[in-house]
Amino acid sequence: MEKVIIVRYSEIHLKGKNRGYFERVFGINMEKSLKGLKHEIHRQSGRYLIEGFDEADEDTILEKLFKVFGIHSLSVALKVRSDIDEIFNAAREVCSDSGTFKVETHRADKTFPLNSMEISSEIGGRLLSVNENIKVDVHNPQFIVNIDVRENGTTLVFNKFFKGAGGMPVGTSGRGLLLISGGIDSPVAGHMIAKRGMGVDCIHFHSYPYTNLQARDKVIELAKVLSQYTCGTKLFIVSVTHIQEEIHKNCNGEYMVTILRRFMMRIAERIAIKNGLQALITGESLGQVASQTIEGMTSSNSVIEKLPVLRPLCGFDKDEIIERSRAMGAYEISIQPYEDCCTVFLPKHPVIKPALKDIEAEEAKLDVEGLIKEALNSLEVIHL
């Protein structure tokens, strides 16, 4: 009798002739997630088995697998020979000590002498005979003993399904660049787009010495949290201090946030293209702050030349975003005090609905290309 973990995948079964590609990426992602832990991964007709692990590592393995996109559900099972006595011994191990139950059997091995209903009846009868504190309830049981008779002469016995992260394996939908701040929204945006199979690298803009190095460290911690779901990430860090100083010196202060945002988008696109990334990702939520009106988003988009801009949070309110931030484990880091570069030289009354012609007129007062080049010279790359 061996303890194993059953992994069932989510949408991959819909992929037809491309299914093999998605399964390969999925397997690679699980291997990356479990790196450093003793284990073996074996594929079995639409599912995977994690075997050969130390039982002391069981909780750690489950915790890591819960962060692998593409997993529909997980079960901790006992693997035994397809022998009715061994199946019963395993069923007795996973069966509750009291309450109502039923036995459900899936028999993939049609050569097994008993069919599914007969196996369930036999095992259920034996369980009743050894424990007078349990009763059968086939309609609304308090727990279920699941028996899965496989084609390879082994049977899996388990009693729980744990919900996985769902979605698609990271890496099957290209790779994008997330504009990440130290706030709540952007890590959630990266998490959501990774769930659809996109790999995520990050770019952070800072305004040192107007912002301190603790703000930078906080963003690194958030990127580390996100990297647990994305099978690793690169964090690009760029200084925009000189850009903000020039905007403050030469432009109408009411347009500070919008103009700075346009510089960030230009810089992010150039770094993305140079590194083979295929999209920009932002944490913008429509109407949440002054720069996230439809006019503000139009202004930001207008400087993008080649890449799509993905805004997965656009239709979410703050409570929904906070809930997702808590679920992914980023919230407690995100709410730590920090200084965002967008708050430097922040006007009292920023323009909410900037007209593109007015923004362009203000930008004409700046050496846009020179400022971008200077920013790119400050680039720092951290591998997480």
pLDDT digits (tens, 9 = 90+) for 312-353: 999 999 999 999 999 999 999 999 876 555 555 666 667 777
Instruction: Supply the CATH classification number for the domain 2-163.
Output: 3.30.2130.30
CA pair distance 251, 342, nearest whole angstrom: 16
CA pair distance 345, 341, nearest whole angstrom: 9
Domain ranges of the chain: 2-163, 175-383
How high is the pLDDT of residue 293? Answer: 84
How high is the pLDDT of residue 254? Answer: 86
Written as six digits, the tokens of 183 are 């706030």
Q: C-alpha angle 294/298/302, rounded to 5°?
A: 175
How high is the pLDDT of residue 13? Answer: 79
Average pLDDT, the chain: 92
How high is the pLDDT of residue 347? Answer: 65
pLDDT above 90 for 277: yes
Distances (CA, A) of 229 to 72, 164, 171, 226, 311: 15, 12, 11, 6, 18
134-136/99-107 β-pairing: parallel
* pTM summary value: 0.89
How high is the pLDDT of residue 290? Answer: 64
Judge contact between 71 and 10, C-beta under 8 A. Answer: yes
How high is the pLDDT of residue 344? Answer: 58
pLDDT digits (tens, 9 = 90+) for 77-124: 999 999 999 999 999 999 999 999 999 999 999 999 999 999 999 999
Q: Average of pLDDT values for 301-309? A: 95
Q: Residue 275: what are its φ and ψ, rounded to 5°?
A: -100, 15
Judge contact between 270 and 369, C-beta under 8 A. Answer: no
Task: Give the other-Cβ count within 10 Å of 46's Cβ.
Answer: 11
Residue with tokens 């369980």: 127
Greater model confidence, 288 or 167: 167
Q: Average of pLDDT values for 152-172? A: 95
Q: Average of pLDDT values for 307-314? A: 96
Judge contact between 42 and 48, C-beta under 8 A. Answer: yes
For the 175-383 domain, the top CATH level (class) is alpha beta
Written as six digits, the tokens of 275 are 């590194």
How high is the pLDDT of residue 345? Answer: 61
Q: Residue 288: what are its φ and ψ, rounded to 5°?
A: -75, -45
For the chain, give the percent of residues with pLDDT over 70: 96
How high is the pLDDT of residue 77? Answer: 97
CA 295 to chain centre: 30
Judge contact between 73 and 48, C-beta under 8 A. Answer: no
Task: Give the other-Cβ count within 10 Å of 240's Cβ.
Answer: 24
pLDDT digits (tens, 9 = 90+) for 35-59: 999 999 998 877 899 999 999 999 9
Judge contact between 371 and 242, C-beta under 8 A. Answer: yes
Greater model confidence, 209 or 34: 34
How high is the pLDDT of residue 269? Answer: 98
CA 132 to chain centre: 45
Task: Name residues whose C-beta falls within 8 Å of residue 83's C-beta, 6 or more positions apart in sequence.
Answer: none
Greater model confidence, 348 or 277: 277
